[in-house]
Structure 1
Amino acid sequence: MSTTVEIVEVGPRDGLQNERRPLDVDTRVQLIKRLIGQGARRIEAVSFVRPDRVPQMGGAEEVMAGVPQMPGVSYIGLVLNRRGAERAVRTACTEVNIVVPVTDEFSRRNQNLSVAEMLDHAAAASQVARGAGLRVSVTLAVAFGCPFSGPVATDEVARVVQRAVEIEPDEIAFADTIGVGVPRQVRALAALAAGDDRVRKLRFHFHNTRNTGYANAVAAAHLDPAAGAVPGGVIALDASVGGFGGCPFAPSATGNIATEDLAYVLRGEKVPVADPGLPDIDGLARVGSWLGEQLKSVPQGMLARAGDFGPRVRAVDEEGAEK
C-alpha cells in the first residue's frame, strides 16, 4: 500500500500573515476563489487571532462571509484559544487548526504562556469546535527546531504529542516553523504515531527556509503505511501558492513550500494524491504570479517563474526507452 497525499492549501492564511502589504477582504476572497478554480479543496483560509498582533489576518469573519460554499470544499480557520474557536464556529469554517508550540521559550515569547497552558487552551478550543460539529487539527509548532531554544529533540516533541492526543483531534500536524528540518526528522516524528490508535491522521507543515522543504515533503510522501506511521494510509501536506508565507513571530522564517512545486514533484514521484487529485500546476503558478502582483512581492516558488515541464516531455518507459 502506498501513502496517499492530501494537499492542504495554506496560502490565504500562512501565505499572507508575514507579508508587509496586507490585502483587503475582497482580494483575499478572490485568492480563495482562484485557488478553488485550480483544484484546491482543503483550504486554510483565515486566522482568528488578534488583528493588532497580525494585521494581515484582520477581517476573518468578512472573508469567510465571502467565500463560495461548494460541495467538497472545506475551510480551515487557525485558532489559538477558546475565543478564537468561538469566532470560528460562527463562520463558514468546517475545521479549526489549533496551534501549540512544543517549546516553552517560543510559547512564552509569543503567547506569554507555557506549553502546558497552551495545551489547556487547545483543549478548551477543541471543545467549542466539537460542540459546533467542526473537525479539529492540532499543529505542533517549532517541532523541528526553535528560533530561541535551538534544536528540538524528538523526545521533547513526544511529550507534547502525548498531551495533544488526549484532546482527541482528528489530525496531528508537525510544523517546521522556521525551516530547519531534514528528512531524518520527518521519519522520526512520524514514528511517534506508530501504534498509537489515538493519532487518526498525520499532517506536516514545511518551510523552505534552508532549501530542505521539498526533500522533507518527499520523505513524508514516501513514509511506509505498513510501518504504522501513516494512519489510514493518508498524509496531509501543507503548501502555499507561490511559496509565500512565514511566521511573524519567528525570526528568519521565510516562505512555505509552494503548492505548484509540491504538485510537480508529487506527479514526478508518482505519489497518489487524494481526491480530486493533483491541482492544475500551470494554473496554480499563474495564481502565484497574480498573488505576487497583489502583494508587490516576488513569488518564492520556482514554477511561477519556470513553468511546468512534464506535458512537454515524451513519455519514457521504465527502461528509459522512448515509447
Structure 2
Amino acid sequence: MTMDAVKLVEVGARDGLQNEAQALPVEIRVELIERLAAAGLRTLEAGAFVSPRWVPQMAGSDEVLRRLGRRPGVTYTALVPNLKGLDAALEVDCREVAVFAAASEAFSQKNINCSIDESLQRFQPVLAKAAEQGVAVRGYVSCVLGCPFSGDVPVVDVVRVARELYAMGCYEISLGDTIGRGTPGSTRRLVEACASEVPITALAGHFHDTYGMAVANVQAALEAGVRVFDSSISGLGGCPYSPGATGNVATEELVYLFQGQGVATGVDLPALLEAGAFIDKALGKASASRVATALRSRASNQ
C-alpha cells in the first residue's frame, strides 16, 4: 500500500460498542455496520464471541454476522478469545477473526485472567484451526504505549508479543495504545522497533484519544510507514480497565485527516457522518468526533 492510500479497520460495532454502558439490540448493530459498509469501509469488526456474562454488549454476535451475510469486497471480523469462540465464528461463516494479547503482564491478568505467555499458548490451537479452515487471523496487542496498572511498558515487551503473534500466523498485528498516553515521538519509536521484527506492511495502529494525541499519533505512524489504522465511528469506546480513558480515534477524524493530504481511504465522508448520527441517536449521546460536530454545525449554519 502506497503513501497515497490507507486501509481503515472500523472497530465501532465491536470495540466501540462493547465499552458503552448500553447494550444495543442486534437490529441496530446490523444497521450500523451496513451503513458503515455502504459509506465505503471494507473491513469492519462485527462482534465478539465471548461470554455474554463478561461482555453483555456483544450478546447475539452470531445473529449479527448471520444477518450481515456476505457483501462483495467487504470483510466482517469477530474477536475470538479461544477455540470455543473460533468454533462459534465458523458456525456463522465468519472469514476473519482476531485474537487479543497484551504487552503488559498486569493488564493481561486483569483483562483475560492469564499471563502473556499463557494467552499466547491459548492462541496456538486457534491459529492452527483457523489456518485449516482458511480463516484469516488478526492479532491485537494492547497497552503498547502504557498500562493503566503498571505504567510504562518496555518497547521490547511489545516487540516480543507482536513478533510471536506474527510468527504464529497472524497476518496483521494491530498495535493498541489502550490508554491513549502515547505521543508522536513514542509512537514513531515503537513502530520502528516493531518493524525491525515484523514487516511494516503487517503492522496497524490503534490509537485512543484520552490525551488528545490520537490524530497526531496516527500521522506519526503514517510517516513511519504504517498504512493500516483502526478507528471507531463517532469515537465510540474506551477501556473499562483504564479510568478516564476515552474512545478510539473517530473514523471521521481519520477520513478528514487523510483526505486533507490526498491519501485515499475509499470512504465517503457525508455517508460516514450519517452513520455516526444514526449511532449517536441510538445511544442517546453526542458524537465524540470533533470533525463530525464541526461539519454538522457548518451545514446547519449554511
Confirm or deny a common fold (TM above 0.5). Answer: yes
Higher helix proportion (structure 1 or 2): 2
Structure 2: distance between partners of 1:279 and 1:302 = 18
- For 2:270, the equivalent position in structure 1 comes to 282
**1:181 matched residue in structure 2:** 182
Unaligned runs of 5+ in 1: 225-229, 312-323
8 Å contact 1:168–1:198 — kept in the other structure?
no
Q: CA-to-partner distance for each residue in 1:200-237, whole Å, 9 max, x for gaps?
A: 5111111111100000111122224xxxxx5xxxx210
Alignment of structure 1 residues 206-225 onto 2, 5 Å? 206-224=207-225
Establish whether residue 267 from structure 1 lines up as the match of residue 273 from structure 2.
no
CA contact (8 A) 1:25 1:63 kept: yes
- Tell me the distance in 2 between the aligned counterparts of 1:122 and 1:214: 31
Give the Cα–Cα distance (whole angstroms) in 2 for the partners of residues 88 and 192 of structure 1. Answer: 33
Q: Does the CA-based 8 Å contact 2:143-2:179 persist in structure 1?
A: yes
Q: Which residue of the partner structure matches residue 149 of structure 1?
A: 150
Match of 2:191 in 1: 190
**Which residue of 2 is the match for residue 258 of structure 1?**
250
What count of residue pairs does the alignment treat as equivalent?
A: 298
The Cα shift of 1:189 comes to 2.1
2: CA distance between counterparts of 1:195 and 1:111? 28
- Are the equivalent residues in 2 in contact too, given 1:17–1:247 (CA < 8 A)? no
Please give the alpha-carbon distance, in whole angstroms, between the structure 1 residues aligned to 2:5 and 2:185.
Answer: 20
Query: TM (normalized to structure 2)?
Result: 0.92
Contact 2:82 2:122 in 1 (8 A): yes
Please tell me the residue identity of whatever aligns with 2:129: V
In structure 2, which of residues 241, 244, 252 is the aligned counterpart of residue 249 of structure 1?
241
In 2, are the aligned partners of 1:82 and 1:125 still within 8 Å (CA)?
yes
Asked if the contact 2:148–2:241 (Cα under 8 Å) also holds between the matched residues in 1, the reply is no
* 3-state SS of paired residue (1:290): helix
Q: Counterparts of 1:27-106 in structure 2 under 5 Å?
A: 27-106=28-107
- C-alpha change, 1:103 and 1:22, in structure 2 (3 Å) is same
Aligned partners of 1:82 and 1:124 also within 8 Å: yes
In 2, the alpha carbon distance for the partners of 1:251 and 1:287 equals: 28
CA RMSD of superposed structures (Å): 2.0
Letter of the aligned partner of 2:289 in structure 1? G
In structure 2, distance between residues paired with 1:197 and 1:62: 35
**Counterpart residue identity of residue 255, structure 1:** G
Gaps of 5+ in 2: none
Matched with 1:161 is 162
* Equivalent residues of 1:3, 1:222 under 8 A apart: no
Name the CA distance, whole Å, in 2 between partners of 1:12 and 1:143. 23
Whether the 8 Å CA contact 1:80–1:100 is kept in 2: the answer is: no
CA 285–79 in structure 1, closer or farther in 2 if over 3 Å, else same: same
AA in 1 matched with 2:262 = K
2:237 equivalent to 1:236: no
One-letter amino acid of the structure 2 residue matched with residue 270 of structure 1: G
Normalised by the length of structure 1, the TM-score is 0.87
Q: CA deviation at 1:303?
A: 2.5
1:222 alignment partner AA: E
Residue 198 of structure 1 deviates from its aligned partner by 6.4
Identity %: 38
Q: CA deviation at 1:81?
A: 1.8
- Do structure 1's residue 107 and structure 2's residue 108 form an aligned pair? yes
